[in-house]
Structure 1
Amino acid sequence: MKIVSFLLGLLALTNVVFAQNAPKEKSLLWEISGKGLTKPSYLFGTIHLICPTDFYLSQQLKNSIVKTRQLALEIDMDDPGLMAAMTKTMFMSGDKKLTDILPEQDYEQLKQFYKDSLKMDISVFGRAKPFMMMGPMFNKILGCEPQSYEISLMGLANNQKSEIIGLESIEEQMAIFDTIPYDRQAGMLVSMIDKMPETRKEFRDLVGLYKQEDLQGLYDLTLKSEFGLDGQDEVMLFQRNQNWISRIDKIIHEKPTFIAVGAAHLGGDKGVIALLRKAGFKVRAVVK
């Protein structure tokens, strides 16, 4: 009984420690220091696509980039071999085609949507992993020509001749999609079309939370999203967060770095901020 009580107490203490590491402040920009760093690095949560009217780069963010010597994104989007690597990894295994994994009625619905709403022939995707088809849909969902934080940050980095690197390779990122059954990926596309009003509302809610810099809200919405991780949070979020910590540790000890990853990766007790704190770093919010 004493052993059981001890284990329960230890578990409770562990949960408290993790909860203490989770970020509570509302901020997208964080300073990383401590653990022998001579100069701080910075961590920023992005939203991968957003309408230009909602896009904003704060002066604090620009000042932080100036203090760093390299930009780390989820993948190195400046790599000249990126497109070739993506082309090699974008196809479904086993020579599967979209017609093999979708019922005929769903395939025809998807085909008609791409033709009428996106002015695209669905056949161009051929054997591509269904998640690859999601990109062109964002214009219709958001109701605008989206702007990218990553592209804008790359522009700022290039202006000061900072190196651009990735926390993971395109092969690692694309391999994630192989862990999610292709028919579930394709079904998600059909569901987004079937429930377009709900899809648009969820993205509006996501953008609203992002503009409020509410990491916990973004984290919660991402986990419960009907159109997002779909039960794949361990492989899509938590495992990647854990993989990044040792890589972040290495690069920020080499030179001050501005790190930009999807904001959903930052919140919660398994997020990048909590894991960096657990690894011994000081991570504080840079408030406006």
Structure 2
Amino acid sequence: MKIINKFLLISHIVFLASTFCSASNSVKNGLLWKISGNGLNAPSYLFGTAHGGPFVAATLILDSVPHLNEIFSSVNQFVGERGLTPINIIKAEFEMDSTYADYLNKEDRIIMDRILLRYLNTTSEKTKISPKILQTLIDSKMSVEIYRDIIFKEFKPNSDVANVLSTELKHISDVSMDYHMMAKAKNDGYTIIGLDNLIEMNWENISLSEPPLSTQIEDLVQLIKTNAIESKIRKRLEDTQGLKNAYYKQDLDKIEEFYVSSMAKNKSDISIPNGLFEEILFGRSKKWMEHIPGIILEKPSFIAVGVAHLPGKDGLINLLRLQGFTVEPVN
């Protein structure tokens, strides 16, 4: 739980960090890659998922990835970034000792309750989850609502409903692609492995200090009062439209270019600790590689991780090749 705790603590920037990638190596386009050779009795597969940011309808793409369903059915082990941690353990890890009602005045409780009831069907008297995690949950639910509204507005009032439903609309969900695929694997009886559950990260040189809990709660209430969460979501969707289009086109080169640019812009953000991006992306990929070879040698696997973990000299495609595996796109 130590690893998950660190990730959720910085959940407001994980979208940027978990999908940034190095520009040093050019790779062929594609989201699905076959891993073979180097003693494997049967191939395993590597798939770049999309989570966070503009990807509230990313499962739309799954039917257009060549041979995805066939390949998914050819293995019986699913390897994701995180495993199926029981919800009661996660909940206990991030609960405060008191509820929000203990921190808020009457006016702020009314404001908070309005949002909590709308998006999470609860109230400040019942809510103990930490402010940063609560903000992430509200953001996720609100993103779905906003994106659905944006798509509806793209169609004329007399548009054929069937045409509307054939677009991203029916795929909009606050459940990420990663968990969507993991749930399918679980239902199919696959073994589930969470790579983050196998590793320990080096956080000693990265400052993850936070303001007092009361300050965090005040800041969250202020974001709600000023509609800042909604404004940030709309700005994020606008700024990442190109990224979403690149992902839907399965264009790794364009995705890589986008995050190189994003990394340069966010280096000046003092709210993001130095070294955090590198540790979340490159550090995790390298530590995963301490386990992935053994996992796929033991059993053919479908590995699904954030798409930015694939390209670059420190990406999984290159790291697997350096260990002697043949890694090639599935066309």
- What's the TM-score, normalizing by structure 1? 0.70
Q: The residue matched to 1:198 in structure 2 has which SS?
A: helix
Match of 1:163 among 191, 195, 220: 191
Question: Which amino acid in the other structure matches residue 56 of structure 1?
Answer: L
8 A Cα contact 1:69 1:257, kept in partner: yes
1:83 matched residue in structure 2: 87
Q: Show structure 1 runs of 5+ residues with no match.
A: 1-17
For residues 247-266 of structure 1, the aligned pairs below 5 Å read 247-266=291-310
8 A Cα contact 2:47 2:305, kept in partner: yes
**Is 186-195 or 54-63 further displaced after alignment?**
186-195
2:322 matched residue in structure 1: 278
Question: Which amino acid in the other structure matches residue 181 of structure 2?
Answer: L
Question: Which amino acid in the other structure matches residue 54 of structure 1?
Answer: L
2 CA distance for matches of 1:120 and 1:43?
A: 37
Cα gap change, 1:243 to 1:88, in 2 (>3 Å): farther
8 A Cα contact 1:70 1:258, kept in partner: yes
How far 1:151 sits from its partner (Å)?
A: 3.6
Q: Show structure 2 runs of 5+ residues with no match.
A: 1-21, 149-171
For residues 100-139 of structure 1, the aligned pairs below 5 Å read 111=112, 114=115, 118=119, 123=124, 126=128, 128=130, 130-131=132-133, 133-139=135-141
Instruction: Kindly tell me the number of residue pairs found equivalent between the two proteins.
Output: 259
2:80 matched residue in structure 1: 73
1:44 matched residue in structure 2: 47
Cα gap change, 1:192 to 1:246, in 2 (>3 Å): same
Q: The residue matched to 2:279 in structure 1 has which SS?
A: helix
How far 1:160 sits from its partner (Å)?
A: 4.2
8 A Cα contact 1:74 1:167, kept in partner: yes
Question: Which amino acid in the other structure matches residue 73 of structure 2?
Answer: V
1 CA distance for matches of 2:131 and 2:316?
A: 28
8 A Cα contact 2:44 2:300, kept in partner: yes
Residue deviations 1:206-226 (CA, integer Å, cap 9, x gap): 322210212243344345167
How far 1:56 sits from its partner (Å)?
A: 2.6
8 A Cα contact 1:50 1:207, kept in partner: no
Cα gap change, 1:262 to 1:236, in 2 (>3 Å): same
Q: The residue matched to 2:246 in structure 1 has which SS?
A: helix
8 A Cα contact 2:36 2:43, kept in partner: yes
Match of 2:67 among 48, 60, 65: 60
2 CA distance for matches of 1:207 and 1:69?
A: 30
How far 1:138 sits from its partner (Å)?
A: 2.5
How far 1:158 sits from its partner (Å)?
A: 4.0
1:35 matched residue in structure 2: 38
Q: Compute the RMSD of aligned alpha carbons.
A: 4.4
2:208 matched residue in structure 1: 180
**What fraction of aligned residue pairs are identical, expressed as a percent?**
26
8 A Cα contact 1:41 1:258, kept in partner: yes
Cα gap change, 1:55 to 1:284, in 2 (>3 Å): closer
1 CA distance for matches of 2:68 and 2:120?
A: 37
How far 1:245 sits from its partner (Å)?
A: 0.6
2 CA distance for matches of 1:218 and 1:52?
A: 14
